[in-house]
Amino acid sequence: MIFLSAWAFGLLGVASVIALLYFLRRREERLVVSAIWLWEEEHERPRSALTLLWTKIWLLLVQLAALAALVFSLAEPTLTREFIGGGTLALIIDGSASMQTAEQGKTRYELAIARAAELIEQRRPNRLTIIQAQQSPKLLVPLTEDRPRALFTLKASQPTLQGDAKPSDILELVRSQGGLENFHEVIYISDHAPALPIPWVSVGEPRKNLAITGFAARPVPDGTSQAIVWARVQNFSSEALEGTLKLFAEETEIHQERISLGPGEQRSVEALAPLYTRFRAVLDVIDDFAFDNIRYSVIPRRPQLKILWLGERNFFLMRALSTFAEVSTQTDETASYDLVIAHNTAIRPVGAVLLINSVAEPWVVRAGSISEPGSLQVLVPGHPLVQHVRGEHLRPTTLSGAQLAPGVQTLIASGDQPILAAYRSQGLRFVYLGVDLKSSPLVLTPSFPILIRNSIYWLIPELGLPSERFVSDEFATLGFADQAAINLDPTESEINRLGSPSFVPQESPTRETKSQIYTPIWYLGAWAAFVALAGELLWYYWGVFRRRRWSYERAP
């Protein structure tokens, strides 16, 4: 036992003051008797007054005992006990949406908390930190020596509806607590194997889940006031499941279908709906993960686009633009505009420009005519401009030769001639399409409106904001929530990603260090002092009562 405030023992000097006051208060006891002749024949035995003072001192002893107990409490007595600890521990708890899967009356997150408590009790680390891992990871417990408080904070935490955390974000949080080299052990608790090469404790068993993994609504491109609604349902279980899929436009149900899928199967459902803004898909099914049984979609308001049109007009080009924007055209170069479209003409480019079979010196220069185009090659398949565009649809019947300036990136080429190219620098952005729309079948293919849409969104990125975001994704602009649907990341529907058990640490070796447990017992002295003083007070009032009672009985 140690005393954290040993200075308090100096207060024992107050005992001399208490003893002095006690003896000063002692007086000889006077008794009233009827006569004194009865004692005249008795032999006198004189006694010292000092001896009389030391009789009946039990009350002084009680007061001194109360003082000793109070001093003992103020000295902060603490019991110490040595034990073998486990160094420094970092626990990473998966807080993504899949951890809310039901597991026999509990969630996987609750099982992870229980497993973390067991690990802390087994390792008994000197210091530990706890991190909750999801798309936006959170430091639940900074590096601390207070294990009970760390467990309290962990048990009070809740899982999220976010996706999985990035390994780099987790490592950054661990480094913020002193660096990886300072931790003797780092353990990840999750329902699937982490992307990090660290020990993994698995929680959960294979469960049933039938999920909506995709949902979208798009206007019909024929100009009618209708929308195409599409949903994809997938079975992530090891057994066949069935449910009822319902599609809603605003609050009106537009389609209902019974779906039965075997293990791992998926099905897509399409329906026509009125051209509303908000749509919803609901799956009625009994499974162990309910958060992916509903998804939302919106058709955002079409942006207003002011176009400076230079060169020839084209009906198909105007229709392609009108499918995703409210277009207003002008030919006055002095007025304000968002985009320049040059079709079969020559210009000097500035700002955002869509060049269609046009010349823009010195960036695009005419180089004669080629009557027989060669085979098409997609040179940069990952570029945003060629996404969902089929290369064979861009094959021209005749090709106007063009020479591009250095720095202009060719995306699709026919032989050595560019078909689709792009350039972006400070003050200038343009897309070059080397196809004559009047003689090319491109305008009759599905790739044409897609290519025009990709080009406009690449030239004006703020128009191409996605209409769907996942939980915890950052909004691109102020007010973006009014133009997008917020859904669960579909990868979280894969609740049975248990992975290989080779990652699971049964009893990972830890660095053993001697540590001490400190148990304060000051409250024992406080209670002893309270009991002593209360006993003294009761005895005092009992003596007063007895004297008053005796005086009352002796009164005539």
Q: What is the pLDDT of residue 49?
A: 52
Query: Is 514 within the bounds of a domain?
Result: no
Split at pLDDT 50, 70, 90, the class of 187 is: very high
| 440 and 344, same domain (yes or no) | yes
475 and 451 together in one domain = no
Q: Which two tokens stand for residue 394?
A: 């861009």
* C-alpha–C-alpha distance, residues 348 and 306, integer Å: 19
Comparison of pLDDT for 60 and 352, the residue scoring more: 352
Whether the pLDDT of residue 161 is over 70: the answer is yes
Q: For residue 439, what pLDDT is reported?
A: 81
How far the first Cα of the chain sits from its last, in Å, is 62
Are 33 and 52 part of one and the same domain?
yes
Residues 63 and 99 placed together within one structural domain of the fold? no
243-252, 422-431, 478-487: lowest mean pLDDT where? 478-487
* Residue 223: CATH number of its domain: 2.60.40.10
- 3-class secondary-structure state, position 362: coil
Cβ atoms of 115 and 190 within 8 Å: the answer is no
* Mean pLDDT in residue range 62-72: 86
On the CB side of 537, CA atoms within 13 Å amount to: 7
The answer to whether position 450 is within a domain reads: yes
β-pairing verdict for 266-274 and 226-235: antiparallel
Q: What is the average pLDDT across 263-287?
A: 93
Helix/strand/coil for 379: coil
- Asked if residues 341 and 310 have their Cβ atoms less than 8 Å apart, the reply is yes
- Work out whether strand 88-94 and strand 127-133 pair parallel, antiparallel, or are unpaired: parallel
Q: Is 542 part of any domain?
A: yes
pLDDT category at 340 given cuts 50, 70, 90 is: very high
pLDDT of residue 355: 93
Q: Which residue has the higher pLDDT, 178 or 420?
A: 420
Of 3-17, 274-288, 410-424, 534-548, the range with the highest mean pLDDT is: 274-288
Look at 383-392, 421-430, 477-486, 530-539 and tell me which has the smallest mean pLDDT: 477-486
Q: Which of 147, 174, 205 is the last residue of a domain?
A: 205
Mean pLDDT (whole number) for 154-165: 92
Give residue 474's pLDDT band: very low, low, confident or very high (50, 70, 90).
low
By C-alpha distance, which of 403, 413, 408, 433 is closest to 341?
A: 433
**Between the CA of residue 535 and those of 23, 62, 483, 522, what are the distances in Å?**
20, 8, 76, 21
Mark which of 452, 476, 493 sits at the end of a domain: 493
Res 44: pLDDT = 64
With helix as H, strand as E and coil as C, how does 166-217 read? Answer: CHHHHHHHHHHCCCHHHCCEEEEEECCCCCCCCCEEECCCCCCCEEEEEEEE
Give the pLDDT confidence score for residue 508 in this predicted structure. Answer: 45
The rounded distance, in Å, linking the Cα atoms of 506 and 200 is: 10
Domain C-terminal end among 138, 171, 205 = 205
Determine the pLDDT at residue 15.
85
- pLDDT-derived band at 213 (thresholds 50, 70, 90) equals very high
Same domain, 229 and 269: yes
Number of domains in the chain: 4
Q: Which long-range contacts (CB under 8 A, 24 or more apart) does 31-35 make?
A: 32/554
pLDDT of amino acid 309: 93
Angstrom distance (rounded) from CA 218 to CA 485 = 13
For residue 343, give the nearest of 353, 333, 329, 357 by alpha carbon. 357
φ, ψ for residue 394 (rounded to 5)?
Answer: -90, 5
For residues 166 and 194, membership in a common domain is answered with yes
Structure tokens given for 470? 């996942």
- Provide the CATH number for the domain around residue 354: 3.40.50.880
- Put residue 472 in one of left, alpha, beta given phi > 0 → left and psi -120 to 50 → alpha: left
> 307-328 pLDDT, tens per residue?
999 999 999 999 888 877 888 9
Q: Say what the pLDDT of residue 545 is.
A: 61
DSSP per position, 310-357: EE---HHHHHHHHTTSEEEEE--TTS--SEEEEESSEE---EEEEEES
Which uninterrupted H or E stretch holds 143?
strand 138-144
Q: What is the mean pLDDT of residues 231-250?
A: 95
Q: CA-CA distance, 370 to 278, in Å (whole number)?
A: 49
Co-location of 71 and 161 in the same domain: no
> Phi and psi of 245, rounded to 5°?
-100, 130
Residues 104, 24, single domain; the answer is no
Q: Are residues 196 and 123 in the same domain?
A: yes
In a domain, 385, yes or no: yes
Supply the pLDDT for residue 33. Answer: 65
Residue 172, strand partner residues = none
Residue linked to tokens 């185009």: 373
- Flag whether 510 is in a domain: no
- 99 lies in some domain: yes
Amino acid at 44: E
Minimum mean pLDDT range among 109-113, 204-208, 252-256, 535-539: 535-539
Residue 502 pLDDT level (bands cut at 50, 70, 90): very low
pLDDT at 55 over 80: no
Q: Which residue range forms the structural domain that includes residue 129?
A: 87-205
Pair 137, 169: CB distance under 8 Å: yes
Asked, for residue 162, whether it belongs to a domain, the answer is yes
Residue 515, domain member (yes or no): no
Q: pLDDT, tens digit, for every residue of 398-432? A: 677 788 888 899 998 887 888 899 999 888 999 99
pLDDT averaged over every residue in the chain: 83
Question: Tens digits of per-residue pLDDT, 418-469?
Answer: 889 999 988 899 999 988 888 888 888 888 888 998 999 899 887 766 667 7
CA–CA distances in Å: residue 445 to residues 343, 393, 407, 464: 19, 7, 30, 22
Do 108 and 201 contact (CB within 8 A), yes or no? no
Enumerate residues 6+ apart whose C-beta is below 8 A from 193: 200, 202, 497, 498, 499, 500, 503
Please list, in sequence order, all residues whose beta carbon lies within 8 angstroms of the beta carbon of residue 371, skipping any fewer than 6 positions away: 398
Q: Band the pLDDT of 505: cuts 50, 70, 90.
A: very low
Closest CA to 454 of 390, 385, 394, 393: 385
Average pLDDT over every residue of 31-39: 66
Chain centre distance of CA 496: 21
We report the CATH number of the domain holding residue 168 as 3.40.50.410
Chain centroid offset of residue 219 CA = 34
- Which pLDDT score, from 0 to 100, does residue 37 have? 66
Same domain, 311 and 429: yes
238 and 331, same structural domain?
no
- β-strand pairing of 351-356 with 428-433: parallel
| Phi, psi of 532, rounded to the nearest 5 degrees | -65, -45
The reply to whether the predicted model has a pTM over 0.85 is no
Beta pairing, strands 102-103 & 409-414: unpaired
Asked if the peptide bond before residue 362 counts as cis, ω within 30 degrees of 0, the response is: yes
Q: Percentage of the chain surpassing pLDDT 70?
A: 81
Q: Are 453 and 310 part of one and the same domain? A: yes
Please determine, for residue 542, whether its predicted confidence score (pLDDT) is greater than 60: yes
Residue type at position 255: H
Separation of alpha carbons 281 and 204, rounded Å: 28
